[in-house]
A and B are shown apart, each in its own frame.
Chain A
Amino acid sequence: QVPLVQSGAEVKTPGSSVTLSCKASGGTFSTRNSVSWVRQAPGQGLEWMGGITPSLGFVTIAQRFQGRLTITADTSTATAYLELSSLTFEDTAMYFCAGDQNWFDPWGQGTLVTVSS
């Protein structure tokens, strides 16, 4: 499995947007691979947000995030992106990307997003 390396921590204000990146360190996405985003609020469990199959451009997004979550990928740089808009305090969480074979493996190291006024 190709390790996934995520971008650094972000601090955002309510109502703003955040864009996170997740790069396959091996330099390519396998044509079979999908990448998903999973978040974890402080002290809480795991929540699947959505995923993308970069080779196909096929995206699925959990219903609760539809309308404010965009997932994209750049196959030339083997990087997946998450953009979450209209941030609220409840979006404060660790955001993980993970290789998605229906189960998640490997995982990125996580990116902490803090929403604060």
Chain B
Amino acid sequence: EIVLTQSPDTLSLSPGERATLFCRASQTVRSGNLAWYQQKLGQAPRLLMFDASIRAAGIPDRFSGSGSGSDFTLTITNLEPADFAVYYCQQYGTPPLTFGGGTKVEIK
């Protein structure tokens, strides 16, 4: 199965700053079949991006995704208080579907 490694484990930033989160796959993720999710404490995950760079409905353009092959990036510009959460990547190019271990974005 494809193993997804997210980095860093924790990102300590202040509101207004830019967050850059990385997701590296153990092998090529076919057709950029990668999604990103945001999860706040005690809540279900929320879809942010799919197909690596397409924002889900209602997601502000402060969130952007990029990458291909085995390296992917989620960028959040101008961090707002609501953005401090845990972020997961997920690949769906090759069964079984797998998730990364998550990156926590915390307030500095």
User: In A1-45, which residues have CB < 8 Å from any B CB?
Assistant: 36, 45
- Is B96 touching A62 in the complex (CB atoms < 8 A)? yes
- B: contact size bracket: 20 to 34
- Is A107 touching B97 in the complex (CB atoms < 8 A)? no
- Is B96 touching A63 in the complex (CB atoms < 8 A)? yes
- Is B88 touching A104 in the complex (CB atoms < 8 A)? no
- Is B47 touching A105 in the complex (CB atoms < 8 A)? yes
Determine the chain B residues whose CB is within 8 A of the CB of A105 once the complex forms. Answer: 47, 50, 56
- Is A104 touching B33 in the complex (CB atoms < 8 A)? no
- Is B47 touching A48 in the complex (CB atoms < 8 A)? no
Complex Cα distance A109/B46, Å?
11
- A: contact size bracket: 20 to 34
Does any Cβ of B come within 8 Å of A60's Cβ?
yes
The answer, among A36, A45, A103, for a CB contact under 8 Å with B47, is: A103
Complex Cα distance A46/B45, Å?
9
Q: A45-B101, A46-B45 known; A103 and B95 CB under 8 Å?
A: no
CB distance from B14 to the nearest CB of A (A): 25
Residue of A nearest to B102 (CB): A45
Complex Cα distance A46/B90, Å?
9
The answer, among A36, A60, A62, A107, for a CB contact under 8 Å with B45, is: A107
**A residues engaging B (CB < 8 A)?**
36, 45-48, 60, 62-63, 96, 98, 101-110
